[in-house]
Amino acid sequence: MKKVLLVICILSTSSLAWAQATAPSLGTAATFAVLGSAVTCTGPGVISGDVGATGAFTNTPVCTIAGGTPPATDTAATLAQTALTTVYQNALAANSSCTLPLLPAVPPASFTLMPGVYCSTAALTLTNITLTLDAGGNANAVWVIKIGAGLTGTEFQVVMANGGQPCNVYWLVGADSTLTTSTFQGNILAGGPTGSFTSTGGTLIGRVLANGAVTLTGPNIHGTCALAAQGGAGCKNDDDNRDEDKDHDRGDDHDRNHRDKDKDRDHKDKDHRDDD
């Protein structure tokens, strides 16, 4: 009997680790790489994608905005930040059941999370820690990481493995987020009332969407998820390639049919001349 109970416990833990998370729909916020009540960028640095600020946009010395626009005050940014509050609350509700706690009491130097919903009710500090997000070969795998208070990362590395995509990672942060010389991947939704974002150095692949101010020093932000949402950038998948191949094949068939009809007409004209 003890052996049977042990097996049941192991199976239950395994099924929890693979529980599916629900990716939030970002609505009008999806096209922004950086969004905040005010955005300050101190260069040199690069942001790929649109920058939205409902207040001031300060860019001195200049950060390069590549493939996007840097509005100081923009109607689209205002609509997007209004949407962010709803998106954040909906994401929390849709992922109310946590797969597992995000970290044990004593965080290891490196750890791996399979797709699912992971939670930390308290503030979270990650220093010299590597987090691997392992998709298990599923490119559509989703992670939702809920942090009830603030997030602080120093030399914090987020690594995608086995087909994992940073655009499918959502960090729901209830308060301020601060990253220092970290390599971070995923969408930060700082949707709490005091949800600001600050980064110094490092790299971020994904989005920064904040209710509060965004302060960037020497940033390297790859807003590939936002650019893909605009339809101008992003990788094509195999289905897209197959569709293009089908279109190409249909074009080839049309050309062949056209050539065959031309040949038939040539033969008929020749037969007609021979009869004459």
3-state helix/strand/coil string of the chain? CHHHHHHHHHHHHHHHHCCCCCCCCCHHHCCEEEEECCEEEECCCEEECEEEECCCEEECCCCEEECCCCCCCCHHHHHHHHHHHHHHHHHHHHCCCCCEECCCCCCCCEEEECCEEEEECCCEEEECCEEEEECCCCCCCCEEEEECCCEEEECCEEEEECCCCHHHEEEEECCCEEEECCEEEEEEEECCCCCCEEEECCEEEEEEEECCCEEEECCEEECHHHHHHHCCCCCCCHHHHHHHHHHHHHHHHHHHHHHHHHHHHHHHHHHHHHHC
Chain segment 15-49, per-residue pLDDT in tens: 444 458 999 999 999 999 999 999 999 999 999 99
Tally of structural domains, the chain: 1
Q: Is residue 259 part of a domain?
A: no
pLDDT at 53: 93
Neighbours of 111 (CB within 10 A): 13
Q: Answer yes or no: is pLDDT of 193 > 50.
A: yes
Q: What tokens does 66 get?
A: 């590549």
Q: Is residue 249 part of a domain?
A: no
- Does residue 254 or residue 121 have the better pLDDT? 121
Q: Is residue 39 part of a domain?
A: yes
Chain segment 137-150, per-residue pLDDT in tens: 999 999 999 999 99
Q: Is residue 181 part of a domain?
A: yes
Q: Which amino acid appears at position 15 of this protein?
A: S
Domain containing 49: what range? 18-230
Q: Is residue 127 part of a domain?
A: yes
Q: Is residue 2 part of a domain?
A: no
Q: Is residue 275 part of a domain?
A: no
Q: What tokens does 205 get?
A: 């692949």
Give the range among 94-103, 124-133, 220-229, 261-270 with minimum mean pLDDT: 261-270
Q: Is residue 200 part of a domain?
A: yes
pTM listed for this prediction: 0.78
Segment 57-83 mean pLDDT: 86
pLDDT at 222: 97
